Structure 1
């Protein structure tokens, strides 16, 4: 999910597949829901169950989709330029904005130009850049997906894998990125549910829906156990196991279980994503705008403390609707026109202008 991949307007006659735009918009909307409901989970079991349910697949879906469109060829000059304009420069811009905001609003945050520890959701941009750079090397190996799973497994034991350059998440979520690339490379496995004109048979969709419903019910009725087991910390994929009390030798196998659960949930969601053009298909081309800008809406609401004082089912429902409303608003074309210099900076001044020889 890069700006160039997801924000360029294309006319209806292009070969753009509605499935992926639908999946992008649904996934990024779920990301907003997860971020919005965080402040509710301390006092509401329903909100906590909903939070855990969403977090089992929201980020894995985004990462897998990003991997599907990644290239494992040695990077060309054009690809490196796009890496800078689509990922690196937007990261520097939004990281700077958040540094100023937190310095101005939160007294405990000194003004420090720190670009190694990503603010809030910006870890994803760092991760995208690193995943793209390492993918050509993984692609040279025989079993890239299994190796990425091993990297994720081992990284949870490494105390050096912290929030510096989001390395903990980069390593932990790598399997989903590699799997996305593998699906496109082995198109015979992906074509079954990806092709726009090839619908998925209803029995399979029924099974996928049953899996999601079962997961949601299990999350709710087992909420006390999930709290005690600190399942949420595993779903964030951003910490060493021992940092939240799992210093046993077998802790990494719990991550493997979480990865397996996330894959089952991710594919269940993808099976249910509409294949046809829908009213929100075009909005799927704005996912980077939604992802980078939604935090400016949620930040004042989350920091106000109001959600923590009103943790009940109606507030949860309202928060979910608010999240959908934010996603719809940020999908509009006028948002892209206004914020394009921040989200999709062309930065022509930064690059050599190659001229054709006389």
Structure 2
């Protein structure tokens, strides 16, 4: 379905854009408002897509091998590359596999999502349990970024929701990919208009309370609020609701037909793992600070972010970096025949086709 490829491509563009403008938000209220507007939903949408293409059956031997080749091995490879990069550029390295470097947290999250899903699927109301886990983990300061566990459990409801939609065939039964009335598009545009207006109109407050950290789903409530409060869970629940509503609006606006960029949506993991190395020099050198005028530099960074996304998904880049992003490691397995014949992006980009929509 071109729809899912288009959705993945749009999500990965927002990921690159978010990391690209991160240094601009300290000096520009417009950049900060823009950052908040899509950070509220872009990773929730990514998690929903990943869940939609995941299975809750007990893993077979082949699926266990795939988990290692799609998630664990790329994580080890790119952690090693980050250690080397920091050693060469910063003159220091702190090898620690329990603390994912920058964007690598999502790889671990995908692995943990897949491991816990078969257990959640055995329960009644798995969606409700995932929400309770997400809200409850914020009350536990000892659950932190080690193995990206706090963030993984925070985003868990979105992944489970994606699986639930596929499990109950909601997309097919309601014809969500066949026909969309005009008012649905209008409602989605209106939601994003409200999203942008709220992000801009309350920018002073959002800076003061450091709202962006709530959308990371990473910190305990005591860290976000400076003191223990019972209503921290209500704030987490609110961010979940906002993420759900805006993700729904996002999916409404995603084109259903094939576009020139649809095929690039099948290679989101290349972009996800490689773009941080492209942005690293700009992030660390400080060249993105104090850029004026904003009306010139913010659109420029946006255009360059799309260009970087397209470039990293192209065939030459995939050919060059394929052994790193999709390591085969036949030597590692006792039975190499279990290795998948066709590689799979762990976000679900190249999973077996979904039922006809």
**Do they superpose with TM above 0.5?**
yes
> Conserved in 2, the CA contact under 8 Å of 1:46 and 1:313?
no
- Report what 1:146 is aligned to: 128
Residue 44 (structure 2) pairs with residue 56 (structure 1)? no
C-alpha deviation, 1:354, in angstroms: 6.5
Specify the alignment match of 2:7 in structure 1.
23
Q: Which of 260, 272, 275 in structure 1 is aligned with 2:253?
A: 272
Specify the SS of the correspondent of 1:165. Answer: helix
The separation in 1 between residues aligned to 2:173 and 2:303, in whole angstroms, is: 33
Q: Distance in 1 between matches of 2:275 and 2:231?
A: 38
- Secondary structure of 1:21 counterpart: helix
How far apart, in 2, do the equivalents of 1:304 and 1:32 lie? 18
Deviations 1:8-39 (A, max 9, x none): xxxxxxxxx11100000000010001011110
Does 2:228 align with 1:244?
Answer: no
Match for residue 227 of structure 1?
207
> How much does 1:193 deviate?
5.8
- The residue aligned with 1:10 is none
Q: Distance in 1 between matches of 2:216 and 2:172?
A: 27
Instruction: Tell me whether 1:290 sits opposite 2:271 in the alignment.
Output: yes
Is 2:214–2:224's contact at 8 Å kept on the other side of the alignment? Answer: no
Once residues 41 and 354 of structure 1 are traced to their aligned partners in structure 2, the CA distance between those partners, rounded to angstroms, is: 48
Written as runs of structure 1 = structure 2, the 5 A alignment for 1:18-97 is 18-97=2-81
Q: Within 2, Cα distance between the matches of 1:189 and 1:264?
A: 16
Q: How does 1:144-183 map to 2 (within 5 A)?
A: 144-183=126-165
Moved more, 256-265 or 329-338: 329-338
Equivalent-residue separation in structure 2 for 1:336 and 1:191 (angstroms):
37
Rounded to whole Å, the distance in 2 between the matches of 1:142 and 1:134 is 15
Deviation at 1:332, TM superposition (A): 0.8
Contact between 1:99 and 1:113, CA under 8 Å: does it hold in 2? Answer: yes
Deviation string, structure 1 residues 46-98 (Cα, Å, up to 9, x no partner): 00000001101111111110010111000000000000000000000001100
> In the TM superposition, what whole-angstrom CA distance separates every residue of 1:281-308 from its partner, at most 9, and x where no partner exists?
1010110001101111110011110111
Give TM-score, length-normalised by structure 1. Answer: 0.91
Q: 2:48 touches 2:160 (CA, 8 Å); kept in 1?
A: yes
Gaps of 5+ in 1: 1-16
1:260 aligns with 2:244: no
Q: Give the corresponding residue for 1:209.
A: 189
Cα 1:81/1:354, change in 2 over 3 Å: closer
Counterpart secondary structure, 1:124: helix
Contact 2:87 2:93 in 1 (8 A): yes
Deviates more, 1:310-319 or 1:75-84: 310-319
Counterpart-to-counterpart distance in 2, 1:102 and 1:268: 39
Matched, 1:123 2:108: no
Displacement, 1:166?
Answer: 0.3
The CA distance in 1 between the partners of 2:176 and 2:319, in whole Å, is: 30
- Per the normalisation by structure 2, the TM-score is 0.91
User: Matched residues in 1 for 2:82 and 2:257: separation?
Assistant: 38
**Distance in 2 (alpha carbons) for counterparts of 1:280 and 1:201:** 25
Give the CA deviation at 1:194: 5.0
The RMSD of aligned alpha carbons is 1.4
* Aligned mates of 1:191, 1:212 — CA distance in 2: 26
Q: Assess if the C-alpha contact under 8 Å between 2:48 and 2:161 holds in 1.
A: yes
Equivalent residue of 2:146, what SS? coil
Contact kept in structure 1, 2:16 and 2:275, CA below 8 Å? yes
Shift of 1:221: 1.3
Match of 2:332 among 340, 346, 350: 350
Counterpart check, 1:199 vs 2:179: yes
Q: Which residue in 2 is equivalent to 1:12?
A: none
**How many aligned positions are there?**
335
